[in-house]
Chains A and B, each alone.
Chain A
Amino acid sequence: MPPILPQKETDRNVITRRTAVLGFGAIGVFGVLAARLYQLQVLQAENYKTLSDNNRFNFNMLMPERGEIRDRFGKALARNVQNFRLVMIPERTAEIGKTLDRVSRISFLSPGQRERIEKDIQQNPKFVPILVKDNIDWETFSALNMRLHALPGIVSEAGQGRAYPRNGVFSHVLGYIGRAGSKDIEADNDPLLKQPTFRIGKTGVEAAEEKILRGASGRLKVEVNARGRIVREWPDPTTRATAGKDVWLTLDAELQEFAAKQFATEDEGDDSGGVCVIDIITGELRALLSMPTFDANLFVSGLTQSDMDRMNSDPKRPQYNKAIAGGYPPASTFKMAVMLAALETNLINPAKRVYCSGKTQLGNRTFHCWKRRGHGQMDMRDALKHSCDTYFYEISQIIGIDAIANVARRLGLGKSYDISIGGGISGIVPDGDWKQQRLGTGWRMGDTLNASIGQGFVLATPLQLAIMTARIANTIDAVVPQLVIGQTLPKFEPLDFDPAHLAYVRDAMWAVTSEPGGTAYRHHPFGMDASVNGMQLAGKTGTGQVRGISAAERISGIRKNEKLPWKLRDHSIFVGFAPFDRPRFAIGTIVEHGGSGAKRAADISRAVLGEALRRDGMAETPVVETGSLN
């Protein structure tokens, strides 16, 4: 056993010394820590405050209210309505599938919708509300609200949606809105487009006037936590959203609805076709209608497959805007252009008579007049009045296609017009160059003869036919159509035809409707109601042939249109203006497979022009937001 040794004094001195060393070391380390704290909290404080704010604040986008689209009298054509919808916040439910099943029992969710919802849930953080269903009707919405307690994670809200009243009569013009696609986002860097609930104009005026209608997003300053959830909002009035501006159209809603009603038939639903009413002085479009229509509201709420199939399989192609994108042979309505070319080139004396035997021989080809027995002796006025094909076969050979094409173009054919909705086609005014380019073969005289009666290669839209007629009626200005009421009145190019020649054409058009023997004469007297009685219509019928008629058929007798399948019937065409003595409106109407132009299209045109005049007499001055039309 070693003795218990007393600790030596030196041991204590050593430990004290060494404690002091460590103590000073510790003070040094604390000094470093304090210095570091000073560096962070004083020297770099500003920097870290900024970083902290960057962490903390997010800017949530506030969506602007979309501008409305109105007709010339301010009636709403596209407006905003309450949109009842369901959203799901995935983090609030453990059983997403079960919840959706329960929702589906009250308001059916198609497999496609389910797929989209599940995809959205996967692609977003769990606290982001995902749209389950929108545009829910009030009854279903109430039923869902009653059962909300049994639907964990589901939130019901009333947002804003787009509605298109007036039964789809404006669908082609207005277009519709939808979620921005990847191409839209690429072309437009407005961050609004990336918001899952934001809608942009996809077609029509909605797309063309998108910039005006959209407005500007607001920003809501929100404080968020590390997971992006909002802790609190910081209301700031300067960052409120700016609502989009309303867009006013030159159209007259009630006139357009009236026109749409004229397309109704007793047994075949709505006829297919287009009609365009234009102000011959200002070029403002009063009606621009394509029939049949479709319900644009379906596009907003999401088209079902059956809707889509029904539309795509309809031979009357309801989605297609025939008024600006339907190219039809203008048929006899083209004869005004030929006539004007004859007068302008001074090659034909209008009083000169041509004998119509019912056909014209060109080489070994025979060109038939619509009247098999022939019209007999015809001067220029008679030829238009009776729509004698032979006369135009004969004179077109003298005038030549180049002069005819030139006049047709100056009258507004063969050109597309920017009326701020896309999709308009230019139609075709053929000549030698055109044929060489398009078909690679040379122009032949037979082509001229076909063109002289508006058949063959010639194609025009109802809009172009209305413009042509408006220019004939206007005399001075080369009127250009206008659909959106803008800040300035358009300046027109001079038409540059001899006014006397135009007067001669107009007189012949009056004969068509107002003299016995005129192709539209049986519709005279005008048949307008008393208030506009005395206003006279001038016009021209056209019957667009859609099938070749064989020689054999001509011998055995041409089948009556009504006995042909719908697809093979002639297009019924009419152009006109009124009143005759002081023109106000021009019209171009095409009824697809509507038979003779003297019938369906003429009936519709007469009624619509009459209504346009009646409404114009009654109409108040249009109210324009910025006073542009004063």
Chain B
Amino acid sequence: MIARSGGFRGAVPASGGSLTTKLFEINWFLPTLVGVLGLVGVTMIFAATDGAWRLGALQHFIRVGAGGLVMLIVAMIDIRIWYRLAYPIYAIGLILLIGVEFVGVEVNGSVRWLDFGIARLQPSEIMKPAIVLALARYYHDLPSHRINHIVGLIGALILMALPMSLILRQPDLGTTLLLGTTGVIVIYLAGISWRVIGFATLFAAVGIPLFFKFGLKAYQQERLLTFLDPSRDPTGASYHITQSKIALGSGGVNGKGFMQGTQRQGEYVPENRTDFIFTVIGEEFGLVGGLLTIAMYMTVIGMCIWLSLKCKEMFAKLLILGLTTTFTLYIFINLGMVMGLAPVVGVPLPLISYGGTVILAVMGGFGLILSAHLHRGVELPRSG
């Protein structure tokens, strides 16, 4: 259907295609939808700050624009370059995380930020696409007969363990678990045998409780439990969740109307510009707005899966599916938390929540997905 010029394998443009050609060949449906979600974010931040452009909405708008540009640039870059850069990017992410360890900035009791003067960077956000890149390359290079080999498995686990342990120290259990889950899913998708999965599950089911019980001191256990379920802390998170549910529930089917949310106006729901922004959607636009938002996310995810199916190379497939997994987990955890189904861990609603590094990381991730799809005809070496 597309076969316009030579040098392409099949109907897909290879790296040799001109920039303009490439631009036309990008799957435009996905970036459009991502942009729309970003604009939903701008609107909701505008409402959450009671109609003040300068309290985040304008900045979010600029970030969505900049992120869109980053997304397109990343998309245009040949998949082979990303393949080559996979480990270096991962290494840079690790170095930044180590940097946080030593010169990080403390915010709300956690050290997650690096201050570069002009901007603050959250290296754990960069680590999210980076680990997917690294694991995708790792399994791309790994001969399929070694996937189930113990050495092959340990290599992947080391790739995961390094950033996870650094992020856990910040401490940021939410991101650690998100990273871990993404990694496990990538390993699963890479084709690890059910036998190993079953063995690992058994090991985890026995080992984790044992470690919890005997490996941790009482105060550490308590801290971990509170961290997993902050509603154990009676003054803090349970109030947030109660108010969050009131905001959603009182919105009803049609919502109270744009800028009319009383829970929002009364500032009852904390952090409703960032992690709890879905409460503003639910309160002001009701079930209709909430389901529409969920539908948009599902479309984005479905689209990404569809794009992964189009790719032939292991690296491309795992890259797309891994990034999509991270994106999906973000949404699950955030919505679950806001609706009172999951513990309160500081996870933003991607594209809609206010927050700079997240937007750039997520949109950069979509850039990688687009690049993988755009260069689906390019053959990758296997250096494993």
Residues of A within 8 A of B (CB): 2, 4-5, 7-8, 11-12, 14-16, 18-19, 22-23, 26-27, 29-30, 32-34, 36-38, 40-42, 44-45, 47-49, 51-52, 55-56, 223-227, 231
Contacts and interface: CB of A to CB of B under 8 A. Distances in A.
Contact of B336 (A33, A34, A45, A231): A33
Contacts of B336: 33
B144 A36 contact: no
Nearest to B318: A15
6 contacts: A15-B191, A23-B305, A33-B294, A34-B291, A51-B246, A51-B250
Given A15-B321, A231-B265, 15 more contacts: A2-B384, A4-B382, A11-B144, A19-B189, A26-B298, A33-B335, A36-B341, A37-B294, A37-B339, A41-B251, A41-B287, A51-B250, A52-B246, A223-B262, A225-B265
Given A37-B287, A37-B290, A7 B263 contact: no
B189 to A, nearest CB: 5
B144 A48 contact: no
Contacts of A12: 312, 317
B52 to A, nearest CB: 16
A7 B142 CA distance: 10
B147 to A, nearest CB: 9
A231 B265 CA distance: 8
B313 to A, nearest CB: 8
A56 B261 CA distance: 11
Nearest to A20: B305
B263 A52 contact: yes
Contact of B332 (A18, A29, A38): A29
B252 A49 contact: yes
Contacts of B262: 52, 55-56, 223
A40 B266 contact: no
Interface in B174-190: 185, 188-190
B314 A7 contact: yes
A30 B294 contact: yes
A81 B367 CA distance: 74
B238 interface: no
A15 B189 contact: yes
A47 B249 contact: yes
Contact of A5 (B143, B189, B245, B301): B143
B247 A52 contact: yes
B267 interface: yes
B188 A18 contact: yes
B249 A55 contact: no
Nearest to B312: A12
Contact of A231 (B188, B266, B382): B266
B362 interface: no
A5 B144 CA distance: 9
Interface residues of B, number: 53
Contacts of A40: 245, 248-249, 282, 339
A41 B286 contact: yes
Contacts of A15: 189-191, 314, 317-318, 321
B381 interface: yes
B253 A41 contact: yes
Contacts of B196: none
B308 interface: yes
A19 B308 contact: yes
A227 B341 CA distance: 27
Interface of B: 143-144, 185, 188-191, 243, 245-253, 262-263, 265-268, 282, 286-287, 290-291, 294, 297-298, 301-302, 305, 308-309, 312-314, 317-318, 321, 325, 328, 332, 335-336, 339-341, 381-382, 384
**Chain B interface SS verdict (over half):** helix
Contacts of A51: 246, 249-250
B228 to A, nearest CB: 19
List the 9 closest A-B pairs by CB distance, nearest first.
A48-B249, A52-B250, A225-B266, A41-B287, A14-B191, A45-B252, A40-B249, A48-B250, A49-B250
A36 B287 CA distance: 10
Contacts of B249: 40-41, 44-45, 47-49, 51-52
B382 A225 contact: no
**Chain A interface SS verdict (over half):** helix
Given A5-B382, A22-B185, A42-B253, A11 B314 contact: yes
A48 to B, nearest CB: 2
Contact of A56 (B143, B266, B291): B266
A223 B250 contact: no
Contacts of A44: 249
A273 B317 CA distance: 107
Contact of B294 (A14, A34, A56): A34
A2 B302 CA distance: 37
Contacts of A33: 294, 332, 335-336, 339, 341
A2 B142 CA distance: 11
Contacts of A18: 188-189, 191
A536 to B, nearest CB: 79
A28 to B, nearest CB: 11
A457 B250 CA distance: 77
Question: Which of B190, B263, B302, B341 is the most central at the interface, judged by chain A CB atoms within 10 Å of its CB?
Answer: B263
B309 to A, nearest CB: 7
A23 B298 CA distance: 10
A55 B246 contact: yes
B189 A227 contact: no
A48 B246 contact: yes
A151 to B, nearest CB: 29
Contacts of A26: 298, 301, 328
A40 B241 CA distance: 13
A41 B282 contact: yes
Contacts of B246: 48, 51-52, 55
A334 B185 CA distance: 110
Given A27-B298, A40-B248, A45-B253, A55 B190 contact: no
A52 B268 CA distance: 10
Nearest to A11: B144
A27 B328 CA distance: 11
B309 A30 contact: no
Contacts of B253: 41-42, 45
Given A11-B144, A11-B314, A37-B282, A19 B309 contact: yes
Contact of A226 (B185, B266, B294, B314): B266
B10 to A, nearest CB: 15
A405 B82 CA distance: 119
A55 B268 contact: yes
A97 B268 CA distance: 32
Question: Which of B143, B245, B246, B263 is the most central at the interface, judged by chain A CB atoms within 10 Å of its CB?
Answer: B246
Contacts of B312: 12
A22 B247 CA distance: 31
Contacts of A14: 191
A310 B305 CA distance: 92
Contacts of A7: 144, 313-314
A225 B308 CA distance: 48
Contacts of A56: 262-263, 266
Contacts of A223: 262, 265-266
A76 to B, nearest CB: 45
A38 B340 CA distance: 13
Contacts of B335: 33
B190 to A, nearest CB: 7
A317 B189 CA distance: 98
Contacts of A41: 248-249, 251-253, 282, 286-287, 290
Contacts of B341: 32-33, 36
Contacts of A225: 265-268
Contacts of B143: 2, 5
Contacts of B305: 19, 23
Nearest to A33: B335
Nearest to B321: A19
Nearest to B335: A33
Given A4-B382, A34-B294, A16 B250 contact: no
Nearest to B313: A7
